[in-house]
Amino acid sequence: MPQWKEDGLDAFTLGVQGGSPQGYSVEQPWDNAAFTPEGALTAAYRERLEKIIEEADRLGLVVILDIFYHGQDHRLRDEPAIRRAITEVCVWVLRSGWRHVLIEIANEVNWHHHYTHSLIKAERVHELIAHAKSITHEGRRLLVSTSFLAHPPLITERVLAEADFVLLHGNGTPAPDRLREMVEEVKATPGYTPKPIMFNEDDHFDFDRPHHHMKAALAASASWGYFDPGSVTTDPPSADDR
């Protein structure tokens, strides 16, 4: 993490339910074990997260704390368990006094085969954003959003109204100019009000080319962050990538 800071990184995403160790996974048989089926945050996992968050605070790095990850949400029993999980995470972060933690409800809510619970999908996730925003401690709440992949719906009006900032992913499109279009589409969405727009995941690099995803995002006044899926993944190239 000190090297990240030295190299100019400002923020990184940390998943309460982890992420895929394979880059892209068709199935995720492992149990990340962050939550009990009833939605309680386990002590061992909380302690692991605390070590990372504390070090990020020491270094001056922002943590985008993602609560739910596809392939793991089915381990939560029902909607009350989902809401409890959010409550436990937000209360823990607030009581810890951290000022450098943002909340991402879930990763890529618009990729419909990802999630088992409809409450975490694009059509209803605004309910969870509102729930997280309602949790306060000593008069303070957390800043909350959720992320969308580069597929329709890019973002919903209800999410845009509830979210404190916009999280987009550059995965799913090989064209750098698509990132500029995504920013324009967000700003053209009814009800849009000025707020930060960030690409916090993008599996395209090509930094040696004159035009690439990072440059396109920055030119559109959006932040950009990369995702390294590794050299071998289970995600086959699309027709556009071949």
Range of the domain at 133: 2-20+31-224
Name the domain count of the chain.
1
Q: What percent of the chain has pLDDT over 70?
A: 95
In a domain, 231, yes or no: no
Q: Work out the pLDDT band at 171, boundaries 50, 70, 90.
A: confident
17-31 pLDDT, tens digit per residue, is: 998 878 788 788 888
Residue 233, domain member (yes or no): no
Least confident of 95-99, 131-135, 201-205: 201-205
Residue 131 lies in a domain: yes
pLDDT exceeds 90 at position 181: yes
Is 234 inside a domain boundary?
A: no
Cβ burial, residue 72 (10 Å; 0-12/13-18/19+): buried
> What's the average model confidence in pLDDT over 154-171?
96
Read off the amino acid at residue 200.
N
Are the beta carbons of 71 and 20 closer than 8 angstroms? yes
Indicate whether 232 pLDDT > 70. no
- Look at 185 and 229; give whichever has higher pLDDT: 185
**Would you state the pLDDT for residue 50?**
99
Residue 81 to residues 56, 59, 84, 126, 135: CA-CA distances in angstroms?
29, 34, 5, 17, 16
The pLDDT of residue 33 is 84
Q: State the pLDDT at residue 218.
A: 97
Bigger pLDDT: 190 vs 229: 190
In a domain, 241, yes or no: no
CATH number (domain holding residue 134): 3.20.20.80
Give per-residue pLDDT as tens, 34-92.
999 999 999 999 999 999 999 999 999 999 999 999 989 999 999 999 999 999 999 99
**Average pLDDT score, the chain:** 93
Give the confidence band of 236 by pLDDT, cuts at 50, 70, 90: very low
Backbone angles phi, psi at 167, to 5 degrees: -115, 120
Report if residue 236 sits inside a domain: no
Neighbours of 27 (CB within 10 A): 8
pLDDT higher than threshold 80 for residue 205: yes
